[in-house]
Structure 1
Amino acid sequence: MKGIFQKSLMVALIGASLATPLQAYAYQEPTNYVHMKTENMTVYSAYGAKIAAAEKQGTFSVKANVVNNRQPLEVEIFKNGHSGVLKQMVKKGVMEPVAYRDEGDRLVATIHNNAELKFEYPAQIYFRDLAKSEYSSYVTTLAERGIVQGRTSDNFGVNDSLTRAQFSVLIVRAFSFQQEPLTQFKDIDAKKSWFGGHVGALHSLGIINGKSPNIFDPNGKITRQQAILMIGRTLDVVDFIPEEYEGLPYQDSNDFQDELLRFTQTLYGIGALDDNTNLLPNQYITRGQFAKMLAVSLEAAGRL
């Protein structure tokens, strides 16, 4: 089982569509759900939402009275001549990523807020520091979706560390969670910060906590162990159901318990962690390592 998602991700990069993930999703039988159809789109709700859906000149508009980070909608869009990357408009002229998987003739997107969706051609991407990196395919896939960006136009910073603020933004972008207001942390300016709403979303979902009840530490670096815990919690939030996986190969994971043990087994089982003698849980995670962890987890959850 291990490695299947990595292999299909590589196939996607050479032009083949991703295989349908193997585990069951919340929307496995959409005909039993409330839904609304337009010419090229069907919107589903598992929560009894009242849905308004429309498409006009390549813009797919979705509104519902029930849609949030715990009760998303699933949107199936048939391409019918459309190409490029699907994104959502957050305000005029500003497009953000949306979580979706490509089924060849159609896309299946998961949205956590009312949205206007459009196809966009991805920007041409070339990061010099990925030329010989084992994380190149994962970074490129995420960059084409608009989830990650480089340090500069031609340098990703594959070996750089990741801050708590950056981590929060990347998770919210990748899973297209709705940003939430945040007031409890004194070291985050809720009105001016570029990451406050992202932290608010993850904090409200129980994915990330502060260093104390009123301190978040946005510039603090993320360790590999912390990344595993928070991506594992994210997979729980989106109702990912892991299979039974074999034991861990890491010599330094023998004392793992509870959440950390469960999530490490899950991420190792889907192929999101490297095959090494040691996991090095207290080492700061690099942007490249995180890109692999995130891309494989997205695919496992049916959102890539």
Structure 2
Amino acid sequence: MKQIKGKKLMTSLLAAALTTTLLTTPVFAKEFTDIDRGASHYDSVTALYDAGIVSGYTDGTFGVNDKLQRRHGAALFAKSLSLPVPSDVSAVLKEYYVDVPSNDPYASIIATVTPSIFKGSNGIFGATQALTREQMATTIVKAIGLTDNGTNPGINLSNVSASHKANVKILAQYGITNQFSNFSPGDSVTRGQFATFLQKALNAKVSPSIALEDGFFAFNKLAKVTLQVSNPADYKVYAEGDPLEYKNGAFVGVVETTSLQEVKNSLLVIKK
């Protein structure tokens, strides 16, 4: 998808034609060795990596099929939502958990997402335990602030724990999951799956509208993204790994594709 030289030239010409300056510095997408271009979760992992939200392992892999630990889920929420660290981390941890000491490497992160997103169970956070898919649903709904929109998506909730049913349904309402016949609620969520869920959830909150306009080359388009929020300038928008510039109510930038779906798959919207 990336054609850097063509993109530089395209950007220069568009900038002159539109008499405006676009954010055009190309960002080289990280190629993890365990997730091929076009594979499930590739777009989401790449989008989150380019935005500085996720990272891989030192061996060059992302660990796409590895189970996501609860502490890592907490870190992804804290970073993607730019959540403030509480003034007294020790006090928060002492109130809610017996298994997270104040000198834990993830102490401030865990305190940041407590109790608004995570609360643990019986005083246990379980930092290195795997996050289940139904737990993931509840944390995402709480983190993003999604609410029941009143529709019936037709998802099977019979095997979902009572405390998570409503939130799994909400994920389905917003198109964040397509596993309607069996959500596999008790299974551990993988790092790749969580990346996709998180990207979709972040975008669902702001309902982005995407338009592509012709440029000077067949393989390039000018993307314009509008957000259904009162203060769009409070957000950052990435398409194909590149930041789009906020101009006159829309986020604008050059993309190297003629496919609206490809842009949609790579889109990431995060709060500043």
**TM-score using structure 2 length:** 0.60
Task: Name the residue aligned to 2:23.
Answer: 83
1:261 counterpart = 2:165? yes
Rounded to whole Å, the distance in 1 between the matches of 2:176 and 2:205 is 12
Shift of 1:221: 0.9
- Matched with 1:208 is 118
Identity among equivalent positions (%) equals 22
Query: 1: CA distance between counterparts of 2:175 and 2:100?
Result: 35
Give the residue type in structure 2 aligned to 1:208: F
Q: Distance in 2 between matches of 1:159 and 1:295?
A: 17
Report the CA distance between 1:122 and its aligned residue: 4.9
Provide the secondary structure at the position in 2 that maps to 1:151. Answer: coil
The alpha-carbon deviation at position 140 of structure 1 amounts to: 0.7
| Separation (CA, whole Å) in 2 of partners of 1:291 and 1:183 | 27
Say if 1:142 and 1:160 are closer, same or farther in 2 by CA, change over 3 A. same
Query: Please, what TM-score do these two structures have when normalized by structure 1?
Result: 0.54
CA RMSD, 1 decimal: 2.7
Once the two structures are overlaid, the 10-residue window that deviates more, 224-233 or 178-187, is: 178-187
| Deviation by residue 1:247-295 (Cα, 9 ceiling, x = unmatched) | 3333xx2265765222112111222113353111001110111111100
Specify which structure has the higher proportion of strand.
1
Which residue of structure 2 lines up, in the alignment, with residue 60 of structure 1? none
Query: 4+ residue stretches of structure 1 with deviation over 6 A?
Result: none
Match of 1:235 in 2: 144
Pair 153,179 (structure 1): closer, same or farther in 2 beyond 3 Å? farther
Q: 1:151 aligns to what? A: 57
* C-alpha distance in structure 1 between counterparts of 2:100 and 2:22, whole Å: 40
Residue in structure 2 matched with residue 225 of structure 1 by the alignment: 134
Q: Which of 205, 222, 231 is the aligned partner of 1:301?
A: 205
Structure 2 residues not aligned, in runs of 5+: 1-6, 8-19, 207-234, 236-268
TM-superposed deviation, 1:186: 3.4
Q: How many residues align?
A: 184
Distance, in Å, in 2 between the alignment partners of 1:121 and 1:196 is 36
Alignment of 1:1-304 (within 5 A): 81=21, 83=23, 122=27, 124-131=29-36, 133-152=39-58, 154-180=60-86, 181=89, 182-184=92-94, 185-190=97-102, 192-205=103-116, 207-213=117-123, 215-236=124-145, 240-250=146-156, 253-254=157-158, 256=160, 260-275=164-179, 277-302=181-206, 304=269
Q: Could you say which structure has the higher helix fraction?
A: 2
Deviations 1:96-149 (A, max 9, x none): xxxxxxxxxxxxxxxxxxxxxxxx975641112221521111111111111111
CA separation in 2, counterparts of 1:82 and 1:258?
49
Question: Which has the greater radius of gyration?
Answer: 2
Which amino acid in the other structure matches residue 158 of structure 1? V
Deviations 1:160-202 (A, max 9, x none): 0011111110111111111221431333232x33321121121
Query: Cα–Cα, structure 1 residues 121 and 183, in superposed 2: closer, same or farther, change >3 Å?
Result: farther
